Amino acid sequence: MTPDLSAHATRLRNQPLASLAAARAGNSILSASGWRIELARQFLDPEADAALVRFGTQAGLEQAATDLFSGAIVNPSEQRPALHWALRSTPRLEGEAETVRQSVQPALQFARDVRSGTIVSSGGAPFAAIVHIGIGGSDFGPRLIADAFGDSAAPGIDLRFCANVDPLDLDRALAGLNPATTLVIGVSKSFGTEETLYNLARARVWLEAALGDAAAQHLGLVTAAPAKAKEWLGGRDAHVFDMPLSVGGRFSLWSAASLACMIYLGADTFVRILKGAHDMDVHTRSTPLAANVPMRLALLDYWNTSVRGEPMRVLLAYANRLRMLPTYLQQLEMESNGKTVGSDGAAVPVATAPALWGGEGSVGQHSYHQWLHQGSQAVPCEFILAPDRNRDPDGITALTAHALAQAEVLANGRSFADVKSEEPNLTDAVAHQKVHAGGRPSTFMTHATFSPEAFGALVAMYEHRTYFAGKLWGLNPFDQWGVERGKTMASRLKPALAGTGTAADPVTASLIAALR
């Protein structure tokens, strides 16, 4: 943390947020790809804002953008570039980036062929169901896309998801389906992910019991390890698609990992999502820092977490299409930057990525919004208002009013004097309970015409924001050592659970004894 930023935070700490916001209203707006982002209700003033921009310049955010889009090594743990952006590029690229760009095309064509009836089941009937099997980045992104635009899916295809190693998850996904008209898609970059291979193996048994050797024609595998996939298939041919090594799992929804969505929604809808993401890429790589949306939001994350000491951020999606976005972003942000040691092996001297949680507005207003308004912690909130404005106008008006009201009350609060003035017959004891402290900062994002393009731009913006925030903290957003360690420990404990080994940790050993 720079002394300059600390001094500004101290200076502003006791300033009324309502006053700061009133002075900045209309003058603190960012925009990109149709998204309008209002930052007035943050603990910032022009001097602090300018200091943040200087900090971003000193931290090399614009160079970080150049590095990302030029294919430089930005993932030092694996000595790789991060080329997820190439999957959605419209112009032709060069070298490895062009190879990545082309890798999604076979999946798009396969989706078109399934939808047109060119590719059918082994018995000649159209596929009527798709079961997508993956976990983590191979699951959250496709689920988000399918849920966001499921209302526009063509009739006749039932899409289901399975991620958990709990057997019930696959049992639910397969319930009522006909193997003869079901396509099972397995997504694993390494083709070594335990949960995915477990569920894929069970699904293959289910298919083979009904179809025999023809079951392979009902399997689609997406991986960066095709040799492992072919070995798993035992010499039988299935549909195999590439997931490039330079595309991280949690950045892979633009790739063949979303094959199920391409079929379910149609390839053209998916191409529109890619187009919106590319538009945000153009903004990110060509816009100076002061007006660059992902860079400025990454600086805001640094300001609230590392300077002001806020340990969490709440995402409030006032759009039913985006109800799964908080879940998706939990993985994107917390797996990418949930670290305290930089690539140089040194501890980061400030607090890093905040805990991220949230949900769908206005549903959340009837649960955790009470805590947001009157709880003991003033947590920064992020509103996204992006409903389908061509739907019932009364509902859209109500949704909009609720979003605006929540942000206003969080910031401005309600004083004891206000309560007594508005409800003079209340006792003081009750009136005190109705006081809202206010001072809860928030960002407010809106889009006038939400669409697949707007969705793609929004997700790409969060990806770039996460990358730039990692740069500010000195972290590598493209590795996940904590996840890997948990997998290693699980494999070591299986023998103890089976009774052929022991657990070294006494508490774990006690738990295993009780479970057995």
| CB 466, CB 473: distance < 8 Å | no
Give phi and psi for 356, each to the nearest 5: -120, 130
The CA distance from 53 to 303, in Å, is 11
CB burial string 422-443: b at 16+ within 10 A, e below: eeeeeeeeebeeeebebbbbbb
The one-letter amino acid at 290: A
Q: Give every CB contact of residue 496 below 8 A, 6+ residues apart in sequence.
A: 502, 503, 508, 509, 512
> How far from 444 is each of 382, 405, 414, 483, CA to CA, in Å?
6, 12, 20, 32
| Two structure tokens written together for 357 | 């949680």
Is 98 one of the catalytic residues?
A: no
The three-class DSSP label of residue 476 is coil
Looking at 335, 360, 453, 463, which residue is catalytic? 335
Q: Name the token pair of 391.
A: 């739907």
Instruction: Decide if 195 is catalytic.
Output: no
For residues 256 and 14, what is the distance between their CA atoms, to the nearest angstrom?
50
List the catalytic residue out of 231, 484, 487, 494.
487
SS3 category, 249: helix
Residue 444, phi then psi, degrees to nearest 5: -125, 115
Phi, psi of 185 (to 5 degrees): -115, 120
Per-residue 3-state assignment (H helix, E strand, C coil) for 101-122:
HHHCHHHHHHHHHHHHCCCCCC
CA dihedral (67, 70, 76, 77) positive or negative: positive
DSSP designation for 60: T
Q: Helices 95-103 & 105-116, crossing angle to 10 degrees? A: 20
Give the CA distances from residue 433 to residues 375, 416, 426, 439, 441, in Å, rounded to whole numbers and listed in that order.
12, 9, 11, 17, 21
Q: Please give, one letter per residue, the 3-state secondary structure of 165-193.
A: CCHHHHHHHHCCCCHHHEEEEEECCCCCC
Active site residue 366: yes
CA-to-CA distance for 327 and 466, rounded, in angstroms?
A: 15
Report the distance separating Cα 382 and Cα 441, nearest Å. 9
Q: Nearest Cα to 21, choosing from 504, 347, 408?
A: 408
List residues with catalytic annotation: 335, 366, 487
